[in-house]
Structure 1
Amino acid sequence: MLIRQFGFSAFTVMSLFAASACTPLPDADALIDRHAGQVARFETASGPLSVEKTAAILAELKRKSGDIDILDKQIALEQAVVGSPLIVGNKVTLLQDGAATYSAMFAAIRLAQNHINLESYIIEDDEIGRQFADLLLEKQRRGVQVNLIYDSFGSVGTPQVFFDRLKAGGIEVLEFNPVNPLAVKKGWLPNNRDHRKLLIVDGRIAFIGGINISSVYSSGSVTPRSRTDTADPAAWRDTDLQIEGPVVGELQKLFIETWEKQRGIALAAKAYFPVLPVQGRDIVRAIGSTPDDPYSLIYLTLIYAIGNAEKQIHLTNAYFVPDPRLLQALIDAAGRGVDVRLILPNHSDSQLVFHAGRSHYSNLLKAGVRIYERGGGLLHSKTASIDGVWSCVGSTNLDWRSFLDNDEVNAVVLGREFGQQMEAMFVRDLGASEAIEAEAWAHRSLLLRFKEWGASLLQRLL
């Protein structure tokens, strides 16, 4: 994010974002009413399942998970508004922190036979960045086509020579919405950033989540440090998914759509959409959002899920600057007896975002929402677990920029088995967190209150 990464002056920020500062978030209630009564549908790699098979899948989900409404209501609303199918037959692996994620990514890249598509907000010229570069160049030399998208602003600190080396080795490199207006291939859109983190290998295995290509993720989530500490890289707590199976084709579509919208050169003829056999039992929906959409698909998906929750809402997020509708959805859920818990960071790489998020604590605590701040590594995860059967992992923060200005990608996974893994991860993060108690919070210092007030004035920009 622009503010959190470089700390622009208020005047610069206001000038840069003036064109989008009045952009509204969608009327979620109206859209819910419009699409009420939809029937859930599922697909395989071969296409939509019959009504009978769909009913059997729903019955099995309910048998394992309990007869909770979210399985009917949420599935139907998502498919009506989001458009991407809910696909069966996938294998989803939960990856925590950079070391595990990079290890899995490197293993997949080494086995690549046809192509590698990589899209990342930040690609740094550091130890991890160079490991990726060396491995990708090696695969390119062996005839595997590598296509890479990096965000111009997110990677603004990366020397051009880093990308020039990749290009010289035959890798196709595309800069998303160049900051330099003289380098643009379409209209200059400095506010629209590519915040996605997406790796696809051979069209068969994909990785998505919050982890960029940077050494700050390498040391795991043990001790709090700053992102700018070059002597000892920060320990960041983050979450990714490794996905195998038919839904990878939907993620591939998102990568190719971005490449084409950014007017990249014609992609080399490769098997981008191979036949994808069943790999497991996970049911997954891939959801991509861009400012080109009439409304944020990921925002609406989350609002629906919170509104449909009956038992629990467990959210872990790095940057919490909710709009009024999301704030009210959380308050309403707590009011109807849902166990609403938020794990947020106790320190951040953006003080503005940190204090803007804290400005909402009083109202949330008063409504019965339980808030925890995680210590140790800097929290960078973006995950949701609702009613133990609806899970979401991706790149989207709970802030205005993610919902209105960024390209983002998330995956929704249905089912009790994966939900249990998400809950176990949530419990572990709780163990590293401290509860924010309403009484103690009410007696916080005037300095903190002033910082919250000041940051809240800029929350639409965060």
Structure 2
Amino acid sequence: MKRNLLHPRPAMAGGPRALARRTGGLPAMSAALVLAACSSLPVIVPDMALPAAPVQIDGPHRPLSAARSREILARLQRDNTAGDIFERHLAVEQAVSDSPLLAGNRVRLLEDGPDVYRAMISAIGAARDHINMETYIFEADEVGQRFADALIAKQQQGVQVNLIYDSVGTLDTPAEFLQRLRDSGVHTLEFNPVNPLAAKAGWAVNQRDHRKLLIVDGRTAFLGGINISSVYSGGSFSRHSKRRPDGALPWRDTDLQLDGPVVAEFQKLFLDTWQRQKGEPLAQRKYFPPLPPQGKEVVRAIGSSPDDAFSLIYVTLLSAINSAETEVLLTNAYFVPDPQLLGALKDAVSRGVDVRLVLPGTTDSALVFHAGRSYYDELLRSGVKIFERRKALMHAKTALIDGVWSTVGSTNLDWRSFLHNEEVNAVVLGTAFGERMRAAFERDIADSEQITLEQWRRRSLDLRVKELFGRLWQYWL
């Protein structure tokens, strides 16, 4: 049961930055603002009382016995040098979410498009029953064609392919590209069509499906920040940095491959979206096969939707930051903090927590970029350390807290993700995976430039004006 920790905080939010970027800039954005509705972010009580009941961990079929739960927790704590910190994060995680903590998962950390795409294409090629795919962007470029060919090939082999794609995210995708998928038998669903005549679940152009989720045979799931696009075709780390064929910077992103009982929870999120968007009836398949343990990781699947009372991902992240005792390591593509997130980061520093942010040094969304930078002075003055990623366009959305609480997903640290997007994240508990996350974070630090307060205060007037303008639009980006 969720604890009653939330109170409404009014905020205004408006049309998606992507719609403005793809359909004419500020005029389109202004039009979208007319359609905006009042939304709210929940207020998280930072010193909430933790539950007295023991933390419950579930297995593949049912909640584990108290003895088995204690055994798994004892093993995790033996592997964890942080001791009480791990117990606190377990308790917080239990307090703020209804979705189960599931043991017995194998989690693979994937960095950069080439590695992610190889793993995804391999899993698609091995599919035997069905493929469920949900994406914000599906471009008709070289990478998009590769995925389309792989999906069509499986559909022709009798594997049912179901695809959800976002209407705004695919505005530039030719209609014939998507029609080719449909003609092959792939079931497609356009999320919240921009054309109101095509909307089956009511017209809500401001609500977008920003999830990136691939589920194969109900047994393997991929999620993170990577869309289907050739912008991810180059490596991003200095030791093997590779520009894209067009000479542009490679994109730096992070995904997960998960095998085990938690996959069923991601499957539920996909099927729920299909149903809420009134997609055509799905073919009968084994969407929920038996899922025996595949590894030792304890994972929670977290989905957020603007149809919910509040963003569960936002609540979970804020609660974890408020509980941090040693470190908060955040990597994020679009950083425009609301007052509560800003306060949580500053409060963490005041408690002696090492707070480090890896943010983009270049971007595909100038308004968001400069709106986020408008907070640098305040954050740097409080002791938050800021690094800007060089040699690549940072697009990852990850967090590591106290070395024991990790999350990877599609959620940006901005108003749009928390208020208006369908998002999906995985939370992984334990130091074994935390060490892999730390290694990835340190690699990003090595390819980043630290921003100091003295340096930042010498920035040009031109940059200051851009920050001011971006700040004015922060609720609507």
Alignment of 1:199-348 (within 5 A): 199-221=214-236, 231-232=246-247, 234-348=249-363
* Cα distance in 1, alignment partners of residues 431 and 40 from structure 2: 35
SS at match of 2:325: coil
| 1:3-55 per-position Cα deviation (integer Å, ceiling 9, x unaligned) | 2564354454244134546312001118x737654542100102111222222
Q: Paired residue for 1:52? A: 67
| Cα pair 2:19 2:29 within 8 Å, conserved | no
Distance 2:149 2:214 in 1: 16
What secondary structure is seen at the aligned counterpart in 2 of 1:320? coil
| 1:220 Cα offset (Å) | 2.0
Determine if contact 2:103/2:298 at 8 Å carries over to the other structure: yes
Cα distance between partner residues in 1 of 2:232 and 2:205: 27
2:44 pairs with 1:28:
yes
% identity of equivalent residues: 55
Tell me which residue corresponds to 2:111.
96
How far apart, in 2, do the equivalents of 1:27 and 1:335 lie? Answer: 20
Over residues 53-82 of structure 1, what are the superposed CA-to-partner deviations in whole Å (9 max), with x where a residue is unaligned? Answer: 222222222222134444333333333432
SS of match in other structure, 2:290? coil
Residue 158 of structure 1 and its aligned partner are, at CA, apart by 0.2
Contact 1:4 1:352 in 2 (8 A): no
Tell me how far apart the structure 1 counterparts of residues 157 and 424 of structure 2 sit (CA, whole Å).
30
Q: What is the SS of the residue equivalent to 2:377?
A: helix
Amino acid at match of 2:215: I
Compared CA separation, residues 135 and 14, structure 1 to 2 (3 A):
same
**What's 1:162 paired with?**
177
State the partner residue of 2:241.
none
Residue 138 (str. 1) matches residue 149 (str. 2):
no
- Determine helix, strand or coil for the equivalent of 2:406: strand
Partner deviation per Cα, 1:404-428 (whole Å, 9 max, x = no partner): 0000000001111111000000000
What do residues 362-415 of structure 1 show as CA deviations (whole Å, max 9, x unaligned)? Answer: 111111100000001100000001111111000000000000000000000111
C-alpha contact 2:165 2:189 (8 A) present in aligned 1: yes
Superposition deviation, residue 444 in structure 1 = 1.4
SS in 2 for 1:135: helix
The aligned counterpart of 2:7 is none
Match of residue 83, structure 1, among 65, 88, 98:
98
- Alignment partners' CA distance in 1, 2:118 and 2:91: 36
User: Deviation of residue 456 (structure 1)?
Assistant: 0.3
Q: Which amino acid aligns with 1:337?
A: G
Contact 1:41 1:76 in 2 (8 A): no
Contact 2:206-2:420 within 8 A present in 1 as well:
yes
1:303-360 deviations in Å (ceiling 9; x for gaps): 0110111111100000000100000000000110001000000010011000000000
Kindly indicate whether residue 380 of structure 2 is the aligned counterpart of residue 368 of structure 1: no
- Partner SS for 2:278: coil
Structure 1 equivalent of residue 454 of structure 2: 439
Deviation of 1:219 after TM superposition, in Å, equals 1.2
Three-state SS of the structure 1 residue aligned to 2:40 is: coil
Aligned-partner Cα distance in 2 for 1:274–1:24 = 38
Q: Tell me the equivalent position of 2:212.
A: 197
Aligned counterparts of 2:402 and 2:93: Cα–Cα separation in 1: 16
- Per the alignment, residue 408 of structure 1 pairs with 423
Q: Is the 8 A contact 2:19 2:28 kept in 1?
A: no
Q: Judging changes above 3 Å, is the alpha-carbon distance between structure 1 residues 35 and 262 closer, same or farther for their aligned structure 2 residues?
A: farther
Structure 1 counterpart of 2:79, which letter?
K
Do the aligned partners of 2:18 and 2:168 also contact (CA within 8 Å) in 1? no
Instruction: Give distance in 2, aligned partners of 1:19 and 1:80.
Output: 35
* Separation in structure 1 between the aligned mates of residue 93 and residue 369 of structure 2, nearest angstrom: 30
Of residues 38, 57, 62, the one that matches 1:42 is 57
**Distance in 1 of aligned mates of 2:74 and 2:182:** 51
Which residue of 2, 5, 16 maps to 1:2?
16
User: Which residue is equivalent to 1:17?
Assistant: 33
- Give the whole-Å Cα distance in 1 for the aligned partners of 2:230 and 2:258: 23
Does residue 182 (structure 1) correspond to residue 197 (structure 2)? The answer is: yes
- Contact 1:5-1:349 at 8 Å conserved across structures: no
Which of 351, 374, 391 aligns to 2:366? It is 351
- TM-score normalised by L of structure 1: 0.95
1:233 to 1:10, Cα distance in 2 relative to 1, 3 A? closer
Contact 1:372 1:434 in 2 (8 A): yes
Amino acid at match of 1:346: G
Q: Which ranges in structure 2 are unaligned for 5 or more consecutive residues?
A: 1-14, 239-243
| Contact 1:318–1:344 (Cα < 8 Å) also in 2 | yes
- Aligned equivalent of 2:123: 108
d(CA) in 1 for partners of 2:85 and 2:273? 31
Provide TM-score, normalisation by structure 2.
Answer: 0.92
CA distance in 1, matches of 2:18, 2:130: 34
Aligned partners of 1:19, 1:337: CA distance in 2, in Å?
44
Alignment correspondent of 1:226: none
Q: 1:376-387, aligned counterparts within 5 Å?
A: 376-387=391-402
> Which whole-Å CA distance do the structure 2 matches of 1:14 and 1:34 have between them?
43
Look up the equivalent residue of 2:16 and give its one-letter code: L
Deviates more, 1:57-66 or 1:178-187: 57-66
Across the two proteins, how many residue pairs are aligned to each other?
A: 456
Q: What code does the residue aligned with 1:16 have?
A: A
